[in-house]
Structure 1
Amino acid sequence: MTAFTLSIKTAAELHAEDQARRAAAVTVERDRRINAGFTFDGIRYQTRPADRENVAGAASAALEAIMGGAQVGDLRWHGGVTDFAWIAEDNSLQPMDAQTLRAFARAMMAHKQALIFAARDLKDRAEIPADITSDAYWP
């Protein structure tokens, strides 16, 4: 004969476990949305981790160019022999002067930050909604 122990969870314990699962789902949804791209000046761009890293590097170079005197409209601010352009999600080339690239980087940062704060808001609720993938909860 084998002995076993029956464990009965309280309603509060079950609720806490459900909320923990929902909080984890919020994190997954936040990360999915952060990596799903964003729109800048009406054009869709990719925002995967490597894309964000590339934008951060280019934004640093753009700031250096601006500090060095790069003017609005100067598409050769990067020191190359061709105009600077960023590749959009549809693979079209989008020319950007240094000032536009900086605005693009700030917009990407704001997009990510808004999603992080929306996730924080969801997780801080007394009752995390079950339908956390609904666009109603996200910017």
Structure 2
Amino acid sequence: MLVGFYKYLLFPLGLAGGCVPEAYGQTPQDSLYHIREVVVTGRVVRREVIPVQELSGERLQRLNSHNVADALRYFSGIQIKDYGGVGGLKTVNIRSMGTNHVGVFYDGIELGNAQNGTVDLGRFSLDNMESVTLYNGQK
């Protein structure tokens, strides 16, 4: 009698297990579809959100400037403060924010004074410099 009970219990479970793929709508596919190869080519266009100002090459040589501070005078939107003659301190600020809010980089290395955060741009000569670039914001 106990064996008959298990037969009636296993029979509905077997039916439920057999219809599971149909219950989820998963039917086996007999055919394969081949799609032709697609080649995508393009070029990288680097556009900055904020325009970059740059002096380089022959244009930088024609400026008749001796140091970076003199070359930066040709950029728009910046102010050069010159604190005394040929050997004096020359600093730059952008949008009147102050010189301690301007990051100055030379070959990717940030320059700065630990005491007051300013950089003397009169110390850097343009003799072996390839380009001078101004970014108004993050690069």
TM-score range, shorter chain: under 0.3
Q: Which has the higher strand share?
A: 2
Q: Which protein has the larger Cα radius of gyration, Structure 1 or Structure 2?
A: 2
Q: Give the TM-score, by structure 2 length.
A: 0.24
Q: Give the TM-score, by structure 1 length.
A: 0.24
